[in-house]
Chain A
């Protein structure tokens, strides 16, 4: 089933100095359960695409359909995860995770139980009454992911969610996040400029051009392994890395 369909989407920013074309004629479709990575040079408008899909901004032209319906405002169908974990320091982990349901006024007992299950499953149950500053970077990012999952979105939008972590943590958090997303059977759209990260985690990689961003090429990554860490060890990892790297740099 098709979760997201972007058809000839363009966006132009207006500022006092000039008109900037951020993205141009992007056509992209994501089906249920897929993990897609958007890679491209920094500043090419990757984040803008996520903002469009999340409904925070509207395209200048073209249509974006989520589960067959056009997006006109932020909805709980998409869950946005940002570069930094954005946990509220004055809330406990449990309260942080409950932020989405609180905003949607849906903190029923069932919802709480559902979230408690997530906390237990992904190793944060014992830390539910801790404050974010008492947790490691990896745990904080996991808490941020559970906060995103709490609203049960169909499509996860990940905006370089590992870039604020050190390399060691990044690899293991990337592994964790992949595991959680797959086991919750979510569809994900990841934006990154880290090619090895994209190759290790995605089913499909979409390479974007320089600004204004447009789709340059699409690659189905056919490395058949269970986790990102295993992929990094696979023999074809280097070949895929080179292919994508060349595509991005040209």
Chain B
């Protein structure tokens, strides 16, 4: 018994060591890449006017934060979160509606397929004319990009509910509403989680795309502006900030997933 426990302890220790090893290598890799970039710029192996460099990014970050960096970050984050929430909630609601009505689902199927394959960016001009060139248009673009995928993946999850379980509930006299709330929705939690994860990524695509089209502020605006006036430092700095924001939002969703899975 004692020997067994030791073995288990050994196993745990090995496991922990491996995790530490992975994280260490991950950090070293980042340091290495940033270092190479900086060195290459420093010794002029690359033209830092075009490629920028970590030190120039840091300098730009300092400059921006004394100006209105927070406004830009906040604008983009705000648009992204609003778009993410609207498209997720609305998409799931529509998917439930389509699950409920077989007729509606069959009628709308070709429309959804076409909308899914349509590049949403093509709708840019229409959006601007319809809702105006502002934050609304950007949120609209985000929603358009996210919602179709949300509807399709959620609906697939809802439809995949075990027929036998539905039969069981019906034999107990369950109403359609009860089948939905007691079986289909709780059984589709894994689907909802994967939809959230997909949407986190897509919402950023939509927001930045929207800002490329129309915007007076935001990280997408900074990137486009920087590109136009050839300030690659600004482009790179905004991209790095974007990376951080996307990572934070992804981890927030991962946290929600962890909380939901623990019971």
Give A contacts to B, CB under 8 Å.
Answer: 54-56, 73-76, 78-80, 82-84, 86, 88-90, 99-100, 102-104, 131, 151
Contact = CB atoms under 8 A, between A and B. Distances in A.
B183 interface: yes
Contact of B168 (A55, A78, A80, A131): A80
Nearest to B179: A103
Given A99-B182, A103-B182, A80 B173 contact: no
A106 to B, nearest CB: 11
Interface string B252-263: 000000000001
Contacts of B178: 103
**Interface extent on B, as a size class?**
10 to 19
Main SS class of interface, A: loop
Interface string B156-170: 000000101101111
B162 to A, nearest CB: 7
Given A88-B183, A90-B186, A78 B162 contact: no
Contact of A90 (B169, B172, B174, B187): B187
Nearest to A55: B171
A102 B164 CA distance: 19
B181 to A, nearest CB: 11
B46 interface: no
Contacts of A83: 164
B164 A104 contact: no
16 contacts: A55-B171, A56-B170, A56-B171, A73-B173, A74-B171, A74-B172, A76-B172, A78-B171, A80-B168, A80-B172, A83-B164, A89-B187, A99-B169, A99-B182, A102-B182, A103-B172
Given A56-B167, A76-B172, 16 more contacts: A55-B171, A74-B172, A76-B173, A78-B171, A79-B171, A80-B171, A83-B164, A86-B162, A90-B187, A102-B182, A103-B169, A103-B174, A103-B178, A104-B172, A104-B173, A131-B263
B187 A88 contact: yes
Interface in B67-117: none
B224 interface: no
Closest 9 CB pairs between A and B? A80-B171, A103-B174, A100-B172, A86-B168, A74-B173, A103-B172, A54-B171, A86-B165, A74-B171
Nearest to A73: B173
A54 B171 CA distance: 6
Contacts of A86: 162, 164-165, 168
Residue of B167, B169, B172, B182 ringed by the most chain A CB atoms within 10 A: B172
